[in-house]
């Protein structure tokens, strides 16, 4: 930690039990995320740094500021960006992406000439996951003359701006499989930022969505819903609610991919679980009519 930051943090007041519970409740009420007690120091640091930036001397004063009127709503947006941004990288789960690749290759032979394969990255952060999905589409669908589109959603406006820009540090390339490097990025000189290819950016869009308001999200008939490393921040009952909404947004035959262990023993009448020790995924059953499974 550098000297100025160390000096700033030394003046941050201790976040006691009462204040921690108060801020924990506010975060869960507004975003659905449940901040575990083990992350109290993270919350104290994040609040403390922001309080110094805006000139608040106590958690009570900052709480009143953030919950009052239009200016409080603006400040809340800034704080949420600090509290919810999570680590991400390209092709973060190779096994899950191998499963998506297999599905997309199959769809490349099934899609009609007027159909578009829809990808949805839920909790897309700064865009690496969404663009990884776009690279899969570009690799297997474009040569077959088929179309694809990617939508990335997140609650943080800051990371969404980064995703739209499509610019990344050169070291991010170390996570990209060799087969995708030329597909995903423009040629670069040594030391220059990575820039996502125009073709992928044109087929990708990013939108702010609070996962508590998924029911109001207009996305429907998605072929691939990728929701990894998102559910772990929510209580079990809310995870089930989120998955129920996502199940309804899948196209018949579409796949829902979540993180291993994020929701054990989840069942839904529209979904069939993929039995694998390496991937946690579900397929929406094909139906003749709503609620009636098609005969195979």
Averaged over 17-38, what is the pLDDT? 92
pLDDT surpassing 60 at residue 8: no
Distance from C-alpha of 131 to C-alpha of 20, rounded to nearest angstrom: 36
Token pair, residue 209, equals 């969505």
**Spatial distance between the Cα atoms of 126 and 130, rounded to a whole number of angstroms:** 9
In tens, the pLDDT along 224-243 reads: 999 998 998 899 999 999 99
Residue 151 host element (H or E) = strand 147-154
Query: Scanning the structure block, which residue is given the tokens 């946690």?
Result: 280
Q: Kindly state the DSSP code that residue 234 receives in the 8-state scheme.
A: S
Every domain of the chain with CATH number 1.10.155.10 lies at 3-84
Q: Which helix (H) or strand (E) holds 178?
A: helix 178-184
Read off the pLDDT of residues 123-140 as tens digits, 9 standing for 90 and up. 999 999 999 999 999 999
Fold (topology level) of 94-293 = Rossmann fold (3.40.50)
Which pLDDT score, from 0 to 100, does residue 3 have? Answer: 47
Collapse the DSSP code of 152 into the 3-class scheme (helix H, G, I; strand E, B; otherwise coil) and give the result.
strand
- Is pLDDT of 9 > 90? no
Q: 72 is written with which tokens? A: 């409080």
Each residue of 155-200: pLDDT tens digit?
Answer: 999 999 999 999 999 999 999 999 999 999 999 887 789 999 999 9
The whole-number pLDDT of residue 190 equals: 79
Residue 288: the pLDDT is 63
Nearest to 132 by CA among 179, 81, 71: 179
Residue 151 to residue 243: CA distance in whole angstroms? 18
Q: What angle do CA 248, 249, 252 make, to 5 degrees?
A: 80
Higher pLDDT, 266 or 5: 266
pLDDT digits (tens, 9 = 90+) for 271-285: 999 999 999 999 999
Q: Does the CA dihedral 81-83-84-88 come out positive or negative?
A: positive
* pLDDT in the model for residue 142: 97
The candidate with the shortest Cα–Cα distance to 242, out of 70, 72, 32, 66, is: 32
Q: What are phi and psi of 73, to 5 degrees?
A: -65, -40
Contact between residue 28 and residue 234 where contact means Cβ atoms under 8 Å apart: no
Whether 5 has a pLDDT exceeding 60, the answer reads no
Q: Say if CB 121 and CB 154 are below 8 A apart.
A: no
**Residue 292 has what pLDDT?**
45
What's the pLDDT band for 23 if we cut at 50, 70, 90?
very high
Distance CA 152, CA 62 (A): 32
Rounded to the nearest integer, the mean pLDDT of the chain is 90
* 269: confidence class by pLDDT, cuts 50, 70, 90: very high
Provide mean pLDDT across the span 109-124: 95
Using a 10 angstrom Cβ sphere, with 0-12 exposed, 13-18 middle and 19 or more buried, the burial of residue 242 is buried
In the predicted structure, residue 295 carries a pLDDT above the cut 50: no
Burial class (CB in 10 A: 0-12, 13-18, 19+), 1: exposed
Portion of the chain with pLDDT greater than 90, in percent: 77
pLDDT band at 78 (very low <50, low <70, confident <90, very high): confident
Question: Can you name the CATH fold of 3-84?
Answer: Chemotaxis Receptor Methyltransferase Cher; domain 1 (1.10.155)
- Sorting pLDDT into bands at 50, 70 and 90, what band is 36? confident
Within the chain, all domains assigned CATH 3.40.50.150 are found at 94-293
Q: With beta carbons less than 8 A apart as the criterion, state whether 251 and 279 touch.
A: no
SS3 label, residue 257 = strand
C-alpha closest to that of 104 among 137, 82, 128 = 137
Question: DSSP letter at 186?
Answer: -
Residue 10 pLDDT exceeds 70: no
User: Does residue 154 have a pLDDT over 90?
Assistant: yes
Residues in Cβ contact with 176 at an 8 Å cutoff, skipping those fewer than 6 apart? 90, 91, 135, 184, 185
What is the reported pTM?
0.88
């Amino acid at each position: 930690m550098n000297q100025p930051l160390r000096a700033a943090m030394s003046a941050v007041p201790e976040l006691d039990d009462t204040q921690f519970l108060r801020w924990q409740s506010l975060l869960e009420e507004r975003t659905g995320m449940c901040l575990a007690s083990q992350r109290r120091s993270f919350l104290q640091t994040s609040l403390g740094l922001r309080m110094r930036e805006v000139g608040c001397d106590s958690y009570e004063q900052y709480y009143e500021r953030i919950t009052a009127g239009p200016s409080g709503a603006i400040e809340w947006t800034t704080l949420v960006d600090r509290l919810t941004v999570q680590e991400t990288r390209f092709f973060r789960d190779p096994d899950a992406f191998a499963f998506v690749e297999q599905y997309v290759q199959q769809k490349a032979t099934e899609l009609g000439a007027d159909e578009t394969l829809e990808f949805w990255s839920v909790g897309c952060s700064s865009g690496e996951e969404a663009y990884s999905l776009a690279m899969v589409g570009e690799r297997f669908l474009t040569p077959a003359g088929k179309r694809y589109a990617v939508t990335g959603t997140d609650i943080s406006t800051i990371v969404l701006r980064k995703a739209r820009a499509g610019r990344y540090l050169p070291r991010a390339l170390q996570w990209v499989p060799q087969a995708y490097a030329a597909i995903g990025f423009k040629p670069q000189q040594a030391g220059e930022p990575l820039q996502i290819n125009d073709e992928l950016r044109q087929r990708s869009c990013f939108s702010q969505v609070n996962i508590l308001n998924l029911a109001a999200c207009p996305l429907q008939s998605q072929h691939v819903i990728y929701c990894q490393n998102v559910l772990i921040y929510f209580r079990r009952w809310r995870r089930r609610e989120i998955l129920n909404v996502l199940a309804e947004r899948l196209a018949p035959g579409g796949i829902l991919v979540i993180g291993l262990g994020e929701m054990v023993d989840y069942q839904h009448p529209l979904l069939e679980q993929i039995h694998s020790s390496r991937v946690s995924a579900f397929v929406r059953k094909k139906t003749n009519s709503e609620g009636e499974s098609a005969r195979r």
